[in-house]
Amino acid sequence: MARDGVTAYVGIGANLGDARTAVAQVLQDLGRVPATRLVARSSLYRTAPVDAGGPDFINAVAALDTGLTAPDLLAELHSLEQRAGRERPWRNAPRTLDLDLLLYGAGRIESPLLTVPHPRWQERAFVLVPLAEIAPGLVDAKALAAVTSQVIARIP
């Protein structure tokens, strides 16, 4: 079901295979989601896994203008993950691609399928730093200060 445009923010991460290429590719693919336009994208960042194993992650955040409902957008994100070979053998397993719907306008959603805002978005440097790059007004300075111990490096 389509609706008037809403700005949604998507967290992007990958740490299996060619993670940098997977993140770069999905940034292009997000612009092809029906009723959706990519309006901003952060730089790429390298981070150590948080509550997960495997190699370092490549992360980014994208801003989308979408006419899709939040559940429909989430379904499209899951489809992109599947096309990238995402498997879910256990919670927080290493992944070829991980797409999280961080924010959906000013919406608040609590359902078995989806929680928006993402429950841990303000606790993760890999979300806050790239989000602050493209939407500084959304990131609280105290939240950024609280994640300074999490190693994150911008990729040139």
Catalytic residues: 86, 95, 98, 100
- The residues with which 7 forms a beta bridge, in sequence order, are 65
Residue whose C-alpha is closest to residue 129's, from 95, 91, 102, 98:
102
Tell me the two tokens of residue 108. Answer: 């608040």
To 10 degrees, what angle do helices 70-83 and 19-30 make?
140
Q: How far is it, in rounded angstroms, from Cα 54 to Cα 79?
A: 23
Q: Which amino acid is at 7?
A: T
In 3-140, which ranges are continuous DSSP H helix?
Answer: 19-30, 70-83, 125-134
